[in-house]
Structure 1
Amino acid sequence: MTETDETAPFWERKSLEAMSETEWESLCDGCGRCCTHKLEDADTGDVYATQIACRLLDCSSCLCSDYPGRLQQVPDCLQVTPEIARNSDWLPKSCAYRRIAEGRGLAWWHHLLSGSRATVHYAGISVQGRVLPEPIVDPDDYEEHIVDWIQDDPEC
């Protein structure tokens, strides 16, 4: 990252902390992977992703149906911060925030590179068509819906 090269895109020349709110929010690739329920093993602390989407996630568009109010409506929802991007194994490896934090740059399918928010779906990165809406799954059955593809990164 070079702070002085003004011709480079903001994500290449700014630290995560130096980004404006608009720049930060634009890094979200709209995949919906972080909006799936996670289960934590109480004994080991290991976190497992499920194919169960948050009740606010539109499973077709992979966008939050109430992004401004999500933290009030879903108490477990986390605001991704630079610290979380750097230190949270539960963020998918494909996540733009995590990729930038790890110095890997944006993937080719990211809308800031491709010019289209649909590329994340065309590339098969999003949860579109791969998750179940929270209301149709009994919470006692969540363990039956653990998946490993959410953590996959096709470019690793």
Structure 2
Amino acid sequence: MAFWQSKTLTEMTSQEWESLCDGCGKCCLNKLIDDETEELYYTNAACLLLDHQTTSCQHYSDRFRYVPQCTVITAQNVHELTWLPDSCAYRRLAAGRALPSWHPLLTGSKDAMHLAGMSIQGKVVDERRVKDIEDHIVLWPLKDLD
């Protein structure tokens, strides 16, 4: 039985925890919250550290030096991070759901995730090039498969 099936999120080692991240990049998108309705909107404006092709952070280990507001996702706060997409492995496991069929832990690479359209690859712009963030609201990050 795989570790994510036999352990709770809090029982996982840091290496196991980190490996749960599929690397889709959706958490690195700028998001908006409507002041009146508190509705969450994703944009296609990506963090300046996000590599748009590999969908990985270019400075993951020291990202807080560049982006102090970057959020650390932990077993303790994952339930509070309602802005994580439904497809996020952390969110799925915290809710008692299985990893999706395209997840790199199941497939061995990010290729299936990219082919399934579950990553930011080919869909984003650098946040530094965005003038009016409202013009960049998108729905595709909300997509969830199996």
TM-score when normalising by structure 1: 0.88
Measured on the aligned residues, the alpha-carbon RMSD in Å equals 1.2
Rounded Cα–Cα distance in structure 2 between residues aligned with 1:14 and 1:154 = 23
Equivalenced residues, count: 146
Rounded Cα–Cα distance in structure 1 between residues aligned with 2:62 and 2:28 = 14
Unmatched segments (≥5 aa) in structure 1: 1-7
Aligned to 1:144: 135
Instruction: Give the partner amino acid of 1:10.
Output: F
Quote the offset at 1:23 in angstroms. Answer: 0.2
Instruction: Give the partner amino acid of 1:142.
Output: I
Aligned to 1:30: 23
Asked whether 1:46 is paired with 2:42, we answer no
Quote the offset at 1:48 in angstroms. Answer: 1.2
Rounded Cα–Cα distance in structure 2 between residues aligned with 1:85 and 1:114 = 24
1:114 paired residue among 107, 113, 119: 107
Asked whether 1:91 is paired with 2:77, we answer no
Q: Percent of aligned pairs with the same residue?
A: 48
1:101-127 deviations in Å (ceiling 9; x for gaps): 111111111111111222211221101
Aligned to 1:81: 74
The farther-off stretch of 15-24 and 83-92 is 83-92
TM-score when normalising by structure 2: 0.94
The farther-off stretch of 145-154 and 30-39 is 145-154
Contact kept, 8 Å, 1:30 with 1:120, in 2: the verdict is: no
Aligned to 1:4: none
- Give secondary structure in 2 for the equivalent of 1:85: coil
Unmatched segments (≥5 aa) in structure 2: none
Quote the offset at 1:84 in angstroms. Answer: 3.3
1:1-48 deviations in Å (ceiling 9; x for gaps): xxxxxxx11101111111100000000001001110011222333221
Quote the offset at 1:87 in angstroms. Answer: 3.0
- Give secondary structure in 1 for the equivalent of 2:61: coil
Contact kept, 8 Å, 1:48 with 1:147, in 2: the verdict is: yes
Aligned to 1:60: 53
Structure 1 consecutive aligned stretches of length 4 or more whose deviation exceeds 6 Å: none
Rounded Cα–Cα distance in structure 2 between residues aligned with 1:28 and 1:135 = 25
Structure label with greater radius of gyration: 1
